Chains A and B, each alone.
Chain A
Amino acid sequence: MPRPHIEPFVDRDVGFKKLGLPGFRKGIQYKMLSMDKENGSCTMTVQYDAGFKQPPGFSYSEMELFIMEGHIMIGGKKCEKGTYIFAPAGTSLPAFSTSEGALGLVFYNFGPPSFQESDSDHQNADKSQQRKMISSYDGLDWQVPTLFPQTAPGCLLKILHLDPKTFGMTFLYCMVPGFWQDNISYHDVAEEAYHIWGTSWMMQFGDLPTGGYFYRPAYINHGCFKSDLGILAIGRTDGDLHNYFHHDPFSSPEENHHRAAAKLARMKPALYQWILTNEHNHLPHDFEFPDDTYSTEGYDSGIHMHDDGTSHAHKASGAHSHLNTPKISKKKSKK
């Protein structure tokens, strides 16, 4: 698992550290929220000190920045709190400065933090997506989530970024005062979030206050939920977000994974059967993105359980069919 389950972590409980990596200008302090142990990609709270200045330049990784406090100047444009910036890997951002300092969240999606001074893009810059700068507080309206099944009334979204291939999202979300949702949820994707303001409560983890953060891998139970006074938060997923709701507080991630697969078989039977045909040999192909290749090599399908009660993890290239691998009985799910 490249990033561990970090939940909850309150960044206000720890101090800032100076960011001393070569390339970066002096005046950036950070708190590490989570880091991928294989590629160094990470999420950090960052403090730009008053008077901080950075020339035009790019990151070797895709980068997202959200300004929570103060304001910054980018290419002569004043960006207030609520500004969201998306920079594809290798795309140059204009000069950046802050006279009074600013507090932000920064996401490096493919590698460790990096900055290379340059007023032009890297020769291999990712041209498939565009640089984006959004004033999210006054430029976007709150929307009711269009996810089915949907979160309880009183949880609203502003979508900041939607990945065209994976449907991974970066979004603001809020809960109104008195919000409550009595179900337990999990997803097929990892989810991370940071509380810009306010406290919410989850049955597993208790209160998450202002400055509270989590990185939660797929299939982990979370909820029920409530918030007495409301919250404002920023969240992200690394793929399509489906809410699997249920009411078994004791189900394991392995059982949740099984249940998700069973739902796929019920909801998309043609797709499910196609994937299973010819053992595991069907690799997909997308005419919209013909150069993409999909391989099961190195894909960790996770631990799963067989009807004889044994469980194991295997790389999906192993040629055995699970067509007849069935339900876990109550006894066998006991751990």
Chain B
Amino acid sequence: MTLGSTTIKGNLRPKFTKEEAAFIKQELAEQIDRYKKIVAEQEALTPQREKWVKEFLERIQSRGFHVHAGLKRVIPKNEVRPRDGRPLQVIF
């Protein structure tokens, strides 16, 4: 998905110039490296994240869950979906 408007589709110069093609190739290669680094960093955060999730699930059953603006609702235990071994994946 491209951010921005879709009032027209694409560039007014649809074919990449040689320099643009080289620029994009280089930037995309670096982007893959950035992505891999993020995946590794976020993987390392898993134990901490598990703790944050546990605290969140406790808070919504005590202080409440934000339904809309300042409107909160305390979630009963039976409405907390069981984890059933599901992973906590955050980067897709």
- A: which residues have CB within 8 A of B? 1-9, 21-22, 32, 34-37, 39-43, 60-62, 64, 88-90, 107, 109-114, 122, 124-126, 128-129, 148-153, 163-166, 168, 181-183, 189-190, 192, 203-206, 217-218, 220-221, 224, 236-238, 245, 247-253, 330-331, 333-335
Instruction: Give Cα A3 to B4, complex, Å.
Output: 13
Q: Given A189-B1, A203-B56, list of 19 further CB < 8 A pairs?
A: A6-B38, A9-B38, A22-B19, A41-B3, A60-B12, A61-B12, A62-B5, A111-B16, A112-B23, A112-B24, A128-B7, A152-B66, A152-B70, A164-B7, A165-B6, A182-B64, A247-B57, A250-B83, A251-B81
Q: Which of B16, B24, B82, B88 contacts A35 (CB 8 A)?
A: B24
Of the candidates B5, B6, B13, B28, the one having the most CB atoms from chain A within 10 angstroms of its own CB is B5
Question: Which of B16-61 touch A at CB < 8 Å?
Answer: 16-17, 19-20, 23-24, 27-28, 30-31, 34-35, 38, 42, 45, 48-49, 52-53, 56-57, 59-60
Q: Which residues of B contact A60 (CB under 8 A)?
A: 11-13
B7, A238: Cβ atoms under 8 Å? no
Verify B35–A6 contact, CB threshold 8 A.
yes
Q: How far is the CA of A335 from the CA of B38 in the complex (A)?
A: 22
CB contacts (< 8 Å) of B12 on chain A: these are: 60-61, 89-90, 122, 124-125
Which of A35, A148, A252 is B68 in contact with, Cβ under 8 Å?
A148
Contact (A21, B23) CB under 8 Å given A126-B7, A128-B8:
yes
Q: Name the distance in Å between A117's Cβ and chain B's nearest Cβ.
A: 14
Q: A335 contacts which of B34, B82, B86 (Cβ < 8 Å)?
A: B86
**Bound CA span A107–B13, Å:** 17
Contact A181 B66 (CB under 8 A): yes
Asked, given contacts A61-B11, A220-B92, whether A334 binds B84 with beta carbons under 8 Å apart, the answer is yes
Q: Which residue of B lies closest to A122 (CB)?
A: B12
CB-based contact B86/A182 at 8 Å: no
Complex CA distance for A218 and B34, rounded to whole angstroms: 20
A42 and B27 contact, CB distance less than 8 A = yes
Whole-angstrom CA separation of A135 from B92 in the bound complex: 36
Known: A90-B12, A163-B5, A333-B86. Is A35-B91 also a contact (CB below 8 A)? no
A211: min CB distance to chain B, Å:
14
Closest Cβ neighbor of A164 among chain B residues:
B7
Residues of A within 8 A of B38 (CB): 6-9
Shortest C-beta distance, A267 to chain B (Å), equals 14
Whether A32 touches B6, Cβ cut-off 8 Å, given contacts A112-B24, A125-B12, A190-B1, is no
10 contacts between A and B (CB under 8 A): A39-B10, A40-B16, A89-B11, A110-B4, A129-B5, A153-B69, A238-B3, A245-B67, A249-B53, A250-B86
Closest partner residue, chain A, to B45 (CB atom): A206
Chain B residue contacts of A183, Cβ below 8 A: 60, 65-67
Q: Contact at A111–B13, with CB atoms within 8 Å? A: yes
A163-B4, A252-B89, A335-B86 known; A182 and B66 CB under 8 Å? yes
